[in-house]
């Protein structure tokens, strides 16, 4: 799918056919958005811009030379956009090409940042005089969405912390949920750092207009604050995880303590029962009295009570 945003008589127009490149003036085009494009659409855009568009495999490489580079014709920047899910986040790689005043984007999934920009382009055409401004608008919207995700993670951490403080049931699933939240936090942080790297590279570019450097610097400050927030959230998660593990260990120790005390309390009665149960004649001491089992039971009870009293006196219960 291709969408071409261009100006005509001060109004923003949209075309969804690569065949219209032959009729649209080059200087009037603001943004070319490629969403899972066909081969014909990609080739038409390459011919219109006079440059080559990266493949998806090239865009997803993590090397700095692949994430941002320049040619004589254009600026190329690749970055990841996070898509929140019910439990975990997914990454979508987006390619940006800035050729002269035109922005071209390549993606495989619908993203809220792009949908919002499309609406603003049609509603406020005068605001977007070039693809550079459209590019900054996407980044600003993306940073705001990243900030919302960081805030959501903070709220989830607060909820887990509240459950621990209230002494709610803490199980293995609770630890798994915390671990998943840690993974999401690290993924958000990596995504934000990736934006920081791209913006820092653009600031060094001589092709990007100097008049827009102020907005890029503001974005870098916002990103720095988000990175600090994610670092703090990750520290909170580590502290919460250690607290939960400590509570689980205490509960296990209590269980083992009960088993140990019960075993110790039953050892003397067991010894007495074993003594009287031996197949040996004890002569005058036991004789053949049918009531000697009462003596054995009495000794077992006395030994049990004595052991219980000793443990109780030493606050071992």
Residue 285 reports pLDDT greater than 70: no
- How many domains does the chain fold into? 2
Residue linked to tokens 């014909």: 40
122 and 194 share one domain:
yes
197 and 48 share one domain:
yes
160 and 230 share one domain:
yes
Residue 316, CA atoms < 13 Å, CB-side half-sphere: 17
180 and 290 share one domain:
no
For 250, the token pair is 């205490």
Question: Where does the pLDDT of residue 317 fall: very low under 50, low under 70, confident under 90, or very high at 90 and above?
Answer: low
What is the DSSP code string of 142-200? Answer: HHHHHHHHHHHHHHHHHHHHHHHHTT----HHHHHHHHHHHHHHHHHHHHHHHHHHHHH
Domain assignment of residue 283, given as a range:
258-313
- Write the pLDDT tens digit of every residue in 78-97: 888 888 776 677 888 889 99
133 and 109 share one domain:
yes
Single out the residue in 199, 232, 249 at which a domain terminates.
249
Give the pTM.
0.75
270 and 224 share one domain:
no
- Write the pLDDT tens digit of every residue in 221-244: 999 999 999 999 888 888 888 887
75 and 173 share one domain:
yes
């Amino acid at each position: 799918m291709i969408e071409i945003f261009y100006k005509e008589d001060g109004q923003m127009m949209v075309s969804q056919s690569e065949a219209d490149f032959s009729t649209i003036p080059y200087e009037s085009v603001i943004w070319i958005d490629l969403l899972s494009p066909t081969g014909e659409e990609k080739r038409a855009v390459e011919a219109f811009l006079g440059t080559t568009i990266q493949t998806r495999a090239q865009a997803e490489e993590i090397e700095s030379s692949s994430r941002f580079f320049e040619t004589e014709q254009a600026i190329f920047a690749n970055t990841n956009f996070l898509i929140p899910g019910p439990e975990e986040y997914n990454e979508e790689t987006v390619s940006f090409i800035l050729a002269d005043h035109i922005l071209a984007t390549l993606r495989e999934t619908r993203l809220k940042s792009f949908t919002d920009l499309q609406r603003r382009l049609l509603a406020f055409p005068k605001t977007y005089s070039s693809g550079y401004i459209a590019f900054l608008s996407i980044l600003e919207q993306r940073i705001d969405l990243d900030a919302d995700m960081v805030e959501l993670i903070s709220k989830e951490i607060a909820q887990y912390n509240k459950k621990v403080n209230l002494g709610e049931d803490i199980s293995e699933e609770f630890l798994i949920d915390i671990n998943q939240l840690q993974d999401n936090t690290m993924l958000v942080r990596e995504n934000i750092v990736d934006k920081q790297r791209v913006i820092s590279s653009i600031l060094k570019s001589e092709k990007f207009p100097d008049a827009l450097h102020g907005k890029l610097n503001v974005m870098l400050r916002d990103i720095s604050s988000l990175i600090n927030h994610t670092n703090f959230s990750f520290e909170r998660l580590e502290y919460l995880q250690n607290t939960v593990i400590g509570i689980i260990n205490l509960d296990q120790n209590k269980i083992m303590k009960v088993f140990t005390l019960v075993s110790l309390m039953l050892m003397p009665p067991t010894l007495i029962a074993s003594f009287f149960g031996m197949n040996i004649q004890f002569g005058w001491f036991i004789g053949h009295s049918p009531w000697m089992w009462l003596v054995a039971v009495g000794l077992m009870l006395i030994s049990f009570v004595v052991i219980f009293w000793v443990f109780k006196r030493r606050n071992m219960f």
